[in-house]
Structure 1
Amino acid sequence: MSNVTTAVLELSSGSLTLSRPGTSDASLRAWSAADELLLKEAFAHLDAVPDAQVLVVDDQYGALTLGLSAWCPDVVADSAQLRAALTLNAELNPGSSAPGHVYSWGQPPPGQYDLILLRIPREADYLAWLLRWINGALTPGGVLLAAGMIKHLPDRSVDVFNAAVDVRNVSRAVKKARLITCGRGDETLDHWSGVWKGYELDGSGIRVIAMPAVFAREKLDQGTRLMLPHLQTALQACSPDARVLDLACGNGVLGLSALMAKPELEITFSDVSSQAVLSARHNTAAAFPSARALFVHADGVASDLEPFDLILLNPPFHEGGVVGDHIALRLFEQASRSLSARGRMLMVGNRHLGYHKSLRRFFPHIRQLDANPRFVVFEAWRH
C-alpha cells in the first residue's frame, strides 16, 4: 500500500481515504464534486427513510458505495474496474466495507430499490438505456438521484431525462457539478429501439451490433479500419488453432475478423465494459456459433488465462474525462506478460500519444506497419 496515492473525502458522516487505481498521478482524485452532491442528498434522504433499499449505479472508484456502506447498498457497474477499486479503498477505510458482490449488466441486480444513485455517463444513448432500466428497478415511490460534472454531461441530457423519467428537480451548479432528482417514469427497455445499433462489416455479410455503452457501435472506427488489413498478415504466421485475444474488444470486430480468416482459432474476447462483452458474445454467436470463444469481463488481461499467440488491441485513450496513455500503458504491460514465446501483439493507437516510445518499455521489438495523420499501427513482440 506504500505506493498508493490517496486523498481524503470529507463527508457529514465522517471521512473516506480514497485512491484511484491504475495511476500514481496525485492530481487524479478518486471522486468528483458530483459524488459529493450525490452523497449529501442521499444522506438527507436516508435520514428520513433509514430502512430504504439502496442501489448504486456506475460508481467509479468506490466513493458512493463506501460512503453509503452503513446502508449496505447493492452495486451495479458496467466497468470491471470498480471491483478492484472497492477492494483497495475498503482496505484504506476499516470502518467501511465493500459489498460481497458487484453486479454488472451481464448479471444485473434482480431486486427493486427505494433509492438509486447514478453517476451520469458521458454517452446520451447509454444514459437513455440506464434511465429505462432504472424505471424497472425503482419502487413506485422510489427516488433516483443522478449527478455529473457539467462539462461531461452528454448532449441533450435534459431531453434524455425528460423522455424517460419524472424529473422533479434540477439543482444549481455546485463546484461545476449538477444533481437531478427524479421519480419513476413509464419508459422501459421493452421494445426500445436504442438497445442495439450496428453496421455491416465491409463486404463480409456480417452485421456487428452493440449495446449503448460500447465504443463506436454505429460505424467502424477509423483506427480499426486502418488495422484490419494487417490482421490478415499477422494471422498467416499463426497455426489454424492459435490462441488469440481481442483485448478491449468492444463489439468484437477484430476478433470476428480473425475468425473470418481462421474459424478454428481459439479466441478470447475481453473488455472492461460488461456491455461490450455482451455485444461481442451476441455477435460471435450470430456469425460463428461453433467458434471456440471465451468472453471475459475484466480490467485488462485476466491473470488466469493461458498465453496467447496473437493479441489484438485498439486501446481506450480516455477514462472518466481524463485523456492520456495511462490505460494503454497498463494494457501493454499485461499484454507483454501474456504472450507465448513467439507471440505478437498487433495494435493501433492515436498518433499524438506517441506509442512508438511507450511500447519500448515493455517490448524489445516493435515495428510500425502503417500510419495516417490520426492513427498508427504497430506490431510488437518479445523474442
Structure 2
Amino acid sequence: MNNTHLHIADESFSLKRFPLNQFDKSLRAWDAGDEYLISHVVENIDLASTKHIVIVNDSFGALTCAMARLAPHARIDVYTDSFMSETGILKNLVACNLDKNSVNIHSALELAQLESANTHIDLMLVKVPRTLSYLEFLLIELNKLLNDSTQIIAAAMVKLITSSALKVFDKCLSNTRTSLARKKARLVFADKRDAITESLPVNIVSDAELNFDLHNYANVFCRDQVDIGARYMLKAMPKHINPNQVVIDLGCGNGILGTQVLLNQAQAKVIFVDESYMAIASAKETLANSGALESSGTNNAEFVISHCLHDFPDNSADVVLCNPPFHQQNTVIDDIAWQMFVDAKRVLKEGGELRIVGNRHLDHRVKLTKLFGGCKVVASDTKFLVLKAIKHS
C-alpha cells in the first residue's frame, strides 16, 4: 500500500502527514472519507461551472489539493482550527505542483465573522470532526452562509457519524440524510436551515478548586469541565518560579497552567503555545478574565500559534509546562508528545526544567530519561504521573 500517493478520479496526489517525523510510517494524510467525498463530487457535480468552493476541517490537504486541480477556475476558501493541518495543506499543494496561493486558508474562527450577503458558495465540503461542540460551531456558522443552491456534503469514517453527530446536523441544518457506507466511511448531505441559530457561545467553566474561570471555545479539549490531567498538574506546579523567568505553557489549551503561573508570580513572563486557533483564543480570554494581568501587566503574556516550539530560539526559557496530547485529530499517536519533549530540551536554558503530566500507562518517563538523562516523579496517583526533567549540558 502506497501511503504517500492518493490515486483517485484519474489523478494522482502526493500527500504527506505533518509533522513528518512520525514513528508510524503507515499513517496516511487522508482517509476513506476523503476518497469517498472526492469521488462523489467528481461523479455528481459539474466542477467546470462551480465558481466558489468552501472546504472545512480538511485534514492535511486531500480535499484542497483535489479541488484545486479538478476545479482550477473556482475560488477555494479553506477553514481549519489546526496550524498543522494548515501546514500540511500548503506543503501538499506544492508537492502536487499546485499553486499554494490559489487557495485562501483561514482560521475556523473567521467563519463567525462572515456575512452571507458578501459571498455566494456553490459547494461546501466538510470533514466531520470528532468533537461535537466543534461540529455544532461549524454547522451553525456554515448555515448562515448557505444559499438555496449551495450543496453541502460532509464526510467521515463511520465511527464518527454517530447518532449524536446526526442530531447536531438536524439541529443546525435541515433535511439531513446519509449515504451507504464505503470502506467504513460515509457521507452526510443536508440543506440550508431557514431559522438561523445563534452562534455557539464561549463556554465558561467555574470550578471550586480554581480561583479563576476557564473560557473554552468550541474545539478546546475538555470544553465542559476542568481537564483531570491539568487539575492534577495544578497540585504539583513548580514552587519557585522567579520574577522575569520565562515560562512556556506548551499545548496550552484554555491556558489553565500559564494563567495559574501568572497568578502565583505576577512578574514572570508566560508564553502560551498551541497549534489550535481556538485554544489560543480560549487562553487569551481565560487570562484576561482571571485578574492576573492587573498586577503583571500585558507585556508578561505572549500567545503563539505553532507546532510544538518549532520557531523558538535555543536556550531561551527557564521552565516548560506541558500536558501533552496523545492523539492528532482522530489518530492516537505519541509523536506530538515526543516532539514537545525534544523541542523543550532545545529551548530550555541549562538548568531549566520541563514539567509534564501524563497518564501512568504512557511511557513518558522512559522518553524523558532517554532525552534528558533522567527524570523525577514529582507526584503520582493511580491515574497520573507528574514528571520533571532538568536540562544539563
Partner residue of 2:391? Answer: 382
Which runs of 4 or more aligned residues in structure 1 lie more than 6 Å from their structure 2 counterparts after TM superposition?
none
Over aligned residue pairs, what C-alpha RMSD do you find?
2.2
Alignment partner, residue 149 of structure 1:
157
> Partner letter of residue 105 of structure 2?
V
Alignment of 1:62-211 (within 5 A): 62-69=61-68, 70=72, 71-95=74-98, 97=100, 99=102, 101-108=104-111, 110=114, 112=119, 113-154=121-162, 156-186=164-194, 188=196, 190=198, 192=199, 194-211=200-217
2:24 alignment partner, SS class:
coil
Select 1:11's aligned residue among 8, 13, 35: 8
Residue identity in the other structure for 2:82? S
**Is residue 220–residue 278 contact of structure 2 (8 Å, CA) maintained in 1?**
yes
Partner of 2:32: 33
Match of 1:227 in 2: 233
TM-score, length of structure 2 as denominator length: 0.88
Give SS of 1:241's match.
Answer: coil
Q: Structure 1 residue 19: deviation in Å?
A: 1.3
Aligned in 2, Cα 1:259/1:170: closer, same or farther, shift over 3 Å?
same
TM-score (structure 1 length as normaliser): 0.90
Equivalent residue in structure 1 for 2:259, among 256, 260, 263? 256
Which of 223, 228, 232 in structure 2 is aligned with 1:217? Answer: 223
- Secondary structure in structure 2 of the residue aligned to 1:102: strand
Q: How many residues align?
A: 374
- Structure 2 SS opposite 1:126: helix
Residue of structure 2 aligned with 1:301, choices 293, 303, 309: 309
* Aligned pair partner of 2:367 in 320, 338, 358: 358
Listed one character per residue, the Cα deviations across residues 9-40 of structure 1 (whole Å, up to 9, x for unaligned) are 11114111211123252321110111012212
Aligned to 1:55: 54
Instruction: Give the one of 328, 331, 336 matched to 1:327.
Output: 336
What is the CA-CA distance between 1:155 and the residue it aligns to?
5.2
- Distance in 2 (CA, whole Å) between partners of 1:48 and 1:19 is 25
Secondary structure of the residue aligned to 1:28 is coil
Distance 2:279 2:32 in 1: 28
Kindly indicate whether the alpha-carbon contact (under 8 Å) linking 1:90 and 1:98 is maintained by their aligned counterparts in 2: no
Q: Distance in 1 between matches of 2:219 and 2:362?
A: 24
Deviation at 1:7, TM superposition (A): 2.2
Contact 1:124–1:155 under 8 Å retained in 2: no
Contact 2:174–2:190 under 8 Å retained in 1: yes
Alpha-carbon distance change, 105 to 296 in structure 1, aligned in 2, over 3 angstroms: farther
Give the Cα–Cα distance (whole angstroms) in 1 for the partners of residues 15 and 269 of structure 2: 40
Q: How far does residue 44 in structure 1 lie from its aligned partner after superposition?
A: 3.9
SS across alignment from 1:337? helix
Q: Quick one: which amino acid aligns to residue 217 of structure 1?
A: R
State the match for 2:288 in structure 1.
285
1:134-164 deviations in whole A, cap 9, x for unaligned?
1122233212111110113355111111111
Does residue 338 of the first structure (1) align with residue 363 of the second (2)?
no
Q: Distance in 2 between matches of 1:169 and 1:262?
A: 54
CA contact (8 A) 1:9 1:18 kept: yes
Q: Aligned residue for 1:316?
A: 325
User: Secondary structure, in 3 states, of the residue corresponding to 2:129?
Assistant: coil
CA 1:356/1:205 → structure 2, altered by over 3 Å: closer, same or farther?
A: closer
Cα separation, partners in 2 of 1:296 and 1:45, compared to 1, 3 Å: farther
1:270–1:45: structure 2 CA closer, same or farther, 3 Å change rule? farther
Q: Per-residue CA shift, 1:214-271, capped at 9, x if unaligned? A: 111221122112211221xx241x3212111111111111111111101222111111
Q: Which runs of 5+ in 2 are unaligned?
A: none
Give aligned-pair identity as a percent: 29
Does the 8 Å contact 2:77/2:103 carry over to 1?
Answer: no
Deviation at 1:98, TM superposition (A): 6.0
3-state SS in 1 of match to 2:231 = helix
CA deviations over 1:76-107 (Å, ceiling 9, x no partner)? 10010023212332332225646564211354
**Structure 1 residue identity aligned to 2:236:** H
8 Å CA contact 1:345–1:380 kept in 2: the answer is yes
1:215 aligned partner, one-letter code:
F
Q: Distance in 1 between matches of 2:375 and 2:208?
A: 29
